[in-house]
Amino acid sequence: MGGHHWPVDADVRHAVDELYADYAEALDEGPIEAWPELFTVDGEYLLIAKENHDRGLPIGLMRCESRGMLTDRVRSITQLSLHAPRVLRHVLGPLRVRPAAGTAGDDSAPSPGHSDHSWTVTASYVVFQTLLDADTHVLSCGRYLDLVVADGDRLRLRRKVTVYDNPLVPNSIVFPL
CA–CA dist 16, 159 (Å, integer): 14
Our finding on whether 37 is near a copy of itself (CB under 8 A) is no
Q: What's the start-to-end Cα distance of the chain, in Å?
A: 37
CA–CA dist 93, 98 (Å, integer): 16
Report the residue number, 101 or 132, with the smaller CB distance to a copy of itself: 132
Our finding on whether 34 is near a copy of itself (CB under 8 A) is no
Query: How many Cα atoms within 13 Å fall on the side-chain side of residue 1?
Result: 2
Report the residue number, 18 or 72, with the smaller CB distance to a copy of itself: 18
Report the residue number, 14 or 75, with the smaller CB distance to a copy of itself: 14
Our finding on whether 63 is near a copy of itself (CB under 8 A) is no
Q: Give kind and range of the element (H or E) at residue 28.
A: helix 10-28
Three-class DSSP category at 6 = coil
Region binding a copy of itself by CB under 8 A among candidate stretches 8-16, 37-45, 64-72, 77-85: 8-16
Report the residue number, 23 or 45, with the smaller CB distance to a copy of itself: 23
Region binding a copy of itself by CB under 8 A among candidate stretches 38-46, 64-72, 77-85, 92-100: 92-100
Our finding on whether 7 is near a copy of itself (CB under 8 A) is yes
CA–CA dist 132, 35 (Å, integer): 24
Contact 103, 80 (CB under 8 A): no
CA–CA dist 109, 106 (Å, integer): 7
Interaction site with a copy of itself (CB under 8 A)? 1, 3-7, 10-15, 17-18, 20-25, 28-29, 50, 87, 89-97, 117, 122-126, 128, 130, 133-138, 140-143, 150, 153-154, 165-167
